[in-house]
A and B are shown apart, each in its own frame.
Chain A
């Protein structure tokens, strides 16, 4: 048998194609006769469509034009609430809402024609903020502007507050964040009534698109085919919105009878597609005289934008993570997702948890101060331990090592020594320093009974050459799916990762292994890969072709003999929950996730009091994510997530005007460059998870949760004042410091 495949930095499977520029992204493929599609969008936030006017100076006969009337099936983007139309026909509910589609063989002509369509709208009063939505002066969605409400309750919160030694309150806000994958969204479609609909594109979730297109075209699922091309980053931004673009491209293809390509330019991608939900969190916390948490009352509200899309599930994850990795006997969390007339907010790495954990971990520093304890000591006293129960009622049965993670992070960052030194030196300096920490966890996989409902399937297929092909709908979007699946399958089969082939996600050939989201690919789908691979191996052993210990050559000949005898060799697996997991959808209580990744991050910052610029000087990320499958890829995941967290905390400010993003350019929406990031120092503790492949847990979202609160806690030390609103732009920090100087 070969050396262990798990735990080593196998080279990225498609890496060679990427470093040579040979990897094919959707815009790299243009079949003969392709038309280029563009979208005409609502110029205003809310109103009734009166008329659509086409400027007669444009030779419209050369163009394919699609409106809602051309939709063969249901004009709804199939997801959760069935409220979002593919093309608005009577009313518009946000700026940039799609109304008309245009295609032409010359992309520039299509772009030009877009400016010659006028959508006449009778405006209605719009709602732009969480406060306005909750005030309900205008009802823009359902009966009360609320997409979803969750309550999580544990213990007797009111009684605990009555007995508190101290009560600490705080309100925290976060802004929208653009995913800013470097490859903009894009789709290529062919469609006709005879052959059905096929789309190729940049995406995370082929089967989401598959379901949506079947409804849009009113076609049986076997007439829809969705193929993922190489995808230039997703981060959640290519979870649900690609269903819209795929539908639009396919509608134009259906009407024109030609292949239609729809590639968003950067401005359109930023202005029209989803972003991280803005949020507001209110905390009220009771502590006892010993510095222990007695009760937490948390009100968590997110701005969902104009349509429901994924807001209920984003809210769910944010609500469940809102009380963090602490053992608090009495907790009440109320979570709401509300409607505004902004483009729908959507999936973005962390999915609600970064918002609620930002609030929590900034608040915990203030609670620590009220308790007269250092931030680390206060947390240590309250950390959850094995056998304790989270707010949502989940008893943690596996080893939890928050204290050890904290110790390591403090030592690696030299936290105590620096905190004292900065405290001493700051008064005399124009550039002040601070160091702050955040402790948090992130659940892997779908929430609650989500994985059971998905019932994901994976298959493995051996060839006569002795290679094994993995068939799943889980997409490689840069995070390393292809590579870790190869390692997991190879480990199970006792062969080399190079002998594993990963099938291109194509709904015509791969089973539905669920969406590529929620830190589920490695842990949940990876486990299915392992099981499917084992099924292949056991078939060979059971048939008597493979001894218990074997070489690569023996494996190859066993495959060949099996296939010769039986035609094919295929193993499959389907999700089954780990034993003992219980979840109550009604009460919203139970085992919210199979397991969690746990982490403590430390940020060291400098604040220039002349320009109010904050710079992160050092960053330490310590986490426990089960067995690390591929150290290089895992470090890359953490570093990339930390970088996005730093951007969210300090730089990335979506500037809104009347519900529209007005800085929709890379020049004016500021993500970190190579000059803006500190050394990001990543450390793993490995506590194998019994139900993950080779002991692995999820990892993708975790690093998004910690940077912002750690940075804010560091800034609070540096400036000696509270900071509660993210992003902490220099302009905002200036106001904070001026107010604190006055106050």
Chain B
């Protein structure tokens, strides 16, 4: 029996046009990872931990709850698209310097959640940071260094 061709969805990932392969109902998470972008992590598969966070048309989403069909014609940013070729993004630099990343598995999602926050609110309070990151669970840090990192990035990006 000949196998049916794998369906594809045309979209932009980190600025590049790509065709992601998979069933329309398969998870954007899996399609991204199969395409080689393994920086997007799976922590729970139920939209609870945020490790799979990506930006879909500039909005933070859990890629484990996003069917591939919903990426059709849209623009996706993953952790691999945050830094430039030469330098870390300010948020990444702040996470590195402030100790915002320990085991690192929540870090890609945290960085994208912080990116999403700072792109909407360049001057967040700590309470704003807490609210914005509530969908991204971290078991290592107790969040304190992550708050420090986001507030440090606020300063870094503001100046």
Direct contact of A and B (CB under 8 A): yes
Binding site for B on A (CB under 8 A): 9, 11-12, 14-25, 27-28, 179-184, 230-235, 265-266, 477-480, 632-633, 635-636, 639-644, 665-667, 671, 673-675, 677, 679-680
CB pair B141–A640 under 8 Å, yes or no, is yes
Check B41–A478 contact: CB distance below 8 A.
Answer: no
B139 touches A21 (CB 8 A): no
Inside 8 A of B135's CB, which chain A residues have their CB? Answer: 673
B78 at the A interface (CB under 8 A):
yes
Distance in angstroms between the alpha carbons of A15 and B51 in the assembled complex:
17
B145 → A minimal CB distance (Å): 5
Contact A636 B140 (CB under 8 A): yes
Query: B-side binding surface: helix, strand, loop or mixed?
Result: loop
- The answer to whether A233 and B139 have CB atoms under 8 Å apart is yes
Chain B residues 99 to 149 lying within 8 A of chain A, measured CB to CB, are: 99, 101-108, 111, 129-131, 133-147
Residues of B with C-beta under 8 A to A478? 102-104, 140
Nearest CB in chain B: distance from A622 CB, A = 16
Inter-chain contact B107/A674, CB cutoff 8 Å? no
Choose one: A184, A643, A666; the contact of B46 (CB below 8 Å): A666
* C-alpha spacing A22/B38, complex, angstroms: 8
Find out whether the CB atom of B49 lies under 8 angstroms from the CB atom of A666.
yes
State whether A25 touches B130 (Cβ < 8 A).
no
Interface assignment of B98: CB less than 8 Å from any CB of chain A: yes
Partner of A20, one of B33, B43, B92, B137: B92
Q: List 19 A-B contacts (CB under 8 A).
A: A17-B104, A19-B101, A19-B104, A22-B39, A24-B38, A28-B38, A179-B139, A182-B51, A183-B43, A183-B103, A234-B103, A479-B140, A632-B99, A639-B145, A643-B139, A666-B49, A667-B48, A674-B131, A677-B142
Which B residues are within 8 Å of any A CB, using their own CB?
33, 37-46, 48-49, 51, 78-80, 82-83, 88, 92-93, 95-99, 101-108, 111, 129-131, 133-147
Bound-state CA distance A120–B60 (Å) is 46
Q: By the criterion CB–CB under 8 Å, are B137 and A671 in contact?
A: yes
Shortest C-beta distance, A677 to chain B (Å), equals 6
Contact B105 A674 (CB under 8 A): no
Contact of A232 (CB < 8 Å), options: B41, B79, B142: B41
**Do B141 and A639 touch across chains, with their CB atoms under 8 A apart?**
yes
CB pair B142 A642 closer than 8 Å? yes
CB pair A671–B139 under 8 Å, yes or no, is yes
Give Cα A636 to B147, complex, Å.
12
For residue B141, which residues in chain A have a CB less than 8 angstroms away from its CB? 636, 639-640, 643
Q: Which residue from chain B places its CB closest to the CB of A237 in the assembled complex?
A: B139
Q: How far is B102's CA from A633's CA once the two chains are assembled, in angstroms? A: 8
A111 shortest CB reach to chain B, Å: 12
Residues in A whose Cβ lies below 8 Å from that of B136: 674
- Is there contact, CB below 8 Å, between A182 and B138? yes
Q: Give the CA-CA distance A640 to B131 in the complex, in Å.
A: 19
Please judge, given known A-B contacts A23-B104, A183-B41, A266-B45, whether A635 and B137 are in contact too, CB under 8 Å.
Answer: no
Partner of B96, one of A15, A180, A479: A15
Compute how far the CA of A680 lies from the CA of B146 in the bound complex, rounded to whole angstroms. Answer: 13
**Known pairs A266-B43, A639-B144; A673 contacts B134 (CB<8 A):** yes
Chain B residues within an 8 Å CB radius of A639: 141-145
Q: Which residues of B contact A232 (CB under 8 A)?
A: 41, 103-106
A9 to B133, CA, bound (A): 25
Q: Do B46 and A632 touch across chains, with their CB atoms under 8 A apart?
A: no
Q: Which residues of B contact A477 (CB under 8 A)?
A: 103
In the assembly, what is the distance between CA of A477 and CA of B140, in Å?
10
**By CB atoms of chain B within 10 A, which of A180, A182, A642, A679 has the most?**
A182
**By the criterion CB–CB under 8 Å, are B98 and A233 in contact?**
no
A61 to chain B, nearest CB (A): 15
B101 (CB) vs chain A CBs: closest residue: A18
CA distance A24 to B41 in the complex (A): 11
Q: How far in angstroms is the closest Cβ of chain A from B95?
A: 5
Q: Which residues of A contact B83 (CB under 8 A)?
A: 20
Let me know if A680 and B142 touch, CB within 8 A: yes
Across the interface, name the chain B residue whose C-beta is closest to A631: B99
Q: Which of B97, B133, B144 contacts A680 (CB 8 A)?
A: B144
Q: Top 7 nearest A-B pairs by Cβ distance?
A: A21-B39, A478-B103, A232-B105, A643-B142, A18-B104, A21-B79, A478-B102
Closest CB of chain B to A30's CB: distance in Å?
Answer: 9
A231 CB contacts on chain B under 8 angstroms? 103
CB distance from A362 to the nearest CB of B (A): 22
Q: Does A19 contact B145, Cβ atoms closer than 8 Å?
A: no
Could you list 9 further interchain pairs (A-B, Cβ under 8 angstroms) beyond the known A15-B101, A479-B140, A671-B137?
A: A19-B92, A19-B95, A21-B107, A232-B103, A636-B102, A636-B145, A666-B137, A674-B138, A677-B143
Most central of A23, A477, A633 by chain B CB within 10 Å: A23
A639 CA / B107 CA spacing, docked (Å): 17
Contact A666 B44 (CB under 8 A): yes
- Once A666-B48, A671-B139, A674-B147 are accepted as A-B contacts, the answer to whether A12 and B43 lie under 8 Å apart by CB is no
Q: Take A21-B79, A643-B143, A674-B147 as given contacts and tell me if A16 and B88 are in contact as well, using a CB distance cutoff of 8 Å.
A: yes
Residues of A within 8 A of B93 (CB): 19
CA A667 – CA B95 in complex, angstroms? 27
| Cα–Cα, bound, A81→B96 (Å) | 43
Q: In the complex, are the beta carbons of A679 and B144 less than 8 A apart?
A: yes
Q: Which residues of B contact A642 (CB under 8 A)?
A: 142
CA distance A21 to B78 in the complex (A): 9
Cβ distance A278 to chain B, nearest Cβ, rounded Å = 20
Contact A632/B98 with A20-B88, A666-B49 known, Cβ cut-off 8 Å: yes
A19 lies within 8 A of B140 (CB): no
CA distance in complex: A635, B144 (Å): 9
Interfacial chain B residues near A18, Cβ < 8 Å: 101, 104, 107
- Give, as a whole number of angstroms, the nearest-CB distance from A33 to chain B: 15
Chain B residues contacting A17 (CB-CB under 8 Å) are 104
Q: Check if B48 sits within 8 Å of A644, measured CB to CB.
A: no
Q: Is the CB of B96 within 8 A of A12?
A: yes
- Given the complex of chains A and B, what is the CA–CA distance between A642 and B142 in angstroms? 7
Taking a contact as CB atoms closer than 8 A, the residue among A230, A641, A673 that contacts B137 in the complex is A673
- Interface pair B99/A633, CB less than 8 Å apart: yes
| Contact assessment for B103 and A12 in the assembled complex, using a CB-CB cutoff below 8 Å | no
| Least Cβ–Cβ distance between B89 and chain A, in angstroms | 9
The distance from the CB of A348 to the nearest CB of chain B, in whole angstroms, is 12
Least CB separation from A673: chain B residue = B134
Does B107 contact A19, Cβ atoms closer than 8 Å?
A: yes
